[in-house]
Chains A and B, each alone.
Chain A
C-alpha cells in the first residue's frame, strides 16, 4: 500500500502545500487503490481521467499560491450529487443513463475549494436503506471484518459506498447525505467520522431528493479535523435552495480548540434502547468518562418522545419521497419501458425501474397522504415531530450538546441481512431524531466490539452549532485513540 494513501486529509493538505508531493502523485495513488479495492463495489462510476485532469489543475494552483482549502485532495462523490457530464444514477435503474447537464451546489463548492473527484460512490437506491443492499448496482462490502471471520459485512447505508471507499482508503474523504442516519450509521459501521450538519447548512440544489425536509449533505472523513475542513468547503447559503439558511460559514478548523472545560453534555436515558449490546453501553460510558476527564459537566437528561421518532420518520420520509420520486416517469430523462398507452408506460417504467425497497416506501408514502389517511398518519406524524423537536429545545436549555451511541449494533452480515423491514429500520433509531429536528449530529469511532468491529458515538448539537460538536468530538477522538485500539486488538489476536 502506497504510503501517501495512509495520510489523512489535513496531513495531505499540509504536505501538498509544502510541495512534498503533487496532487497528481496523490491522486494516482488513490486511483490505484480504487482499482485494487474494486471488489468492495464502493464506486458506481470511476472517473480517473477527470480526476487526473483536476489534480493537474490543482498542482498549478498550488504552484501559483492560489490553493483552495481542499486543494488537490482526492475524494469520492456519493452518486446522489448531480455531476455535470458524468453519469448520475442515485443507484437506481431508472436513472441508469442520466447525464446531468448541471453540477450540484455542494459538489461545485468542493470543486471550487480544489477537491479532486475520483468518481461516484455507491449507495442504497435513492438513499433508501441502512445496509447499502438496495443499490441497483449491487451491494457494497465493508472493508472491516470480524476477527477470525471472513464473512462479508455491510458498510451501513445509505452512504455505504462513501464509507467503504474512505475506510478502504480508496479516497481520502467522501461526500454523503443523511435523511435518517445515512451519514452517521455507515460512518459508525466503518470506523469513520460522519457529520450531518444543521438542516439548511448545505445546499440541497442538485442533490437527488429523497425527503426534502430531512435531507442534508455532509462529509465522511477519517478525523474530526478533516471533517471540519470538508464541512467548511461544502457549506454555504445558496439562493437556489429556498430552505438553505443565510448564516455565514465559520472557519471550522480554526475554531478547533480541543477544549470542553465547562461544556454541559447531556446523556438521554431514552437512548438506551431494547436489545442494545453491552459493548455499546460500554463505549457510551467511556465517552462520558473521557469528556468528564477533560472538564465537561455531565448531566442526565430526558428526551421523552425518542421512541416515536422512528415511526414518525417512516411516515414523513416516505410521504415526501412518494412525491419527490414522481418525476421519474420515463418521459424527460432516465429509463423508459414502453407500454400500450401512457398509463402502461408509467407503470412499467416505474414498476421495473425502481427496486423493491423504493417501491415499498413510495407505496407507504402514497398511502399515508391519500384521502382518508392524511390526518391520521401524515398530520399526526408532523405533530409528533414537533414534540420530538421540543424535547431537544427543552434539553438544550440545560446542556450544550448530547452524547449517545450512533447505532444499536455494529455492522452485520452482508449475506444474511435482516429480511424484516422494521428490524432493518431499527438501525437508525438513534439517528433519526436529529433529522426530524434538523439538528447537527456527528458520529465518530469510540471503540470496538469484542470481535473487532468499530462502534460509533454520536453527538447532537444545537442548530448551527457544529463547532461545539467538533470540539467535543475531538476530545473523544484523542482520548479514544481509536487507531491505537485497533492496533492493540490486532496485536492481541
Chain B
C-alpha cells in the first residue's frame, strides 16, 4: 500500500501530531513499507472466523454502585502544565 503525502497529513492531523515538512517523506516511505509488509495477511483465508479482540475474557466483573473514589481535586490538578486555576485545568480559549 503506497501512501500519499496527503494520507500522511490527514492521519497525522487525526492523531494530532505535528509533522515537520522534512519528516513527511521519510514517514510516508516507512509507513508504506510497513503496510506493504502487513499485506501478507491477504494470503490468509479468514472466512467464517470471528475477530478475537481479547483473551481469557469470558465474563466481565461488575462493581457495586458505591462511592469509593474522588474527593482529591488537588491531586487531580497537581501535575497540570502551567498550574491549575480554581482547581481546574486550562487550555487556550475554545470558541464554539
Binding site for B on A (CB under 8 A): 97-99, 101, 198-200, 213, 239, 242-243, 245-246, 305, 307-308, 311-312, 314-315, 322, 326, 329-336, 338-343, 345-348, 350-352, 354, 359-360, 362-364, 366-367, 370, 377, 379-387, 389, 420-422, 437-438, 463
Contact = CB atoms under 8 A, between A and B. Distances in A.
A336 B41 contact: no
A366 B34 contact: no
7 contacts: A101-B72, A311-B40, A331-B81, A333-B79, A351-B19, A380-B41, A383-B52
Contacts, number: 160
Among A99, A329, A343, A463, chain B packs the most CB atoms within 10 A around the CB of: A343
B54 interface: yes
B78 to A, nearest CB: 6
Among B37, B56, B63, chain A packs the most CB atoms within 10 A around the CB of: B56
Given A199-B56, A334-B81, A389-B55, A352 B44 contact: no
Interface string B35-72: 10110110110100111111111001101000000001
B4 interface: no
A446 to B, nearest CB: 28
Among B12, B30, B81, B89, chain A packs the most CB atoms within 10 A around the CB of: B81
Contact-residue bracket for chain B: 35 or more
Nearest to A352: B18
Contacts of B61: 239, 242, 246
A348 to B, nearest CB: 5
A367 B31 contact: yes
Nearest to A464: B56
Q: Which 7 A-B pairs have the closest CB atoms?
A: A438-B55, A351-B18, A382-B51, A333-B79, A336-B81, A383-B46, A347-B18
B56 A350 contact: no
A305 B44 CA distance: 8
B60 A383 contact: no
B79 A334 contact: yes
A243 B40 CA distance: 31
A97 B37 CA distance: 37
A350 B15 contact: yes
Given A213-B53, A334-B81, A379-B51, A359 B37 contact: no
Given A342-B94, A347-B18, A463 B46 contact: no
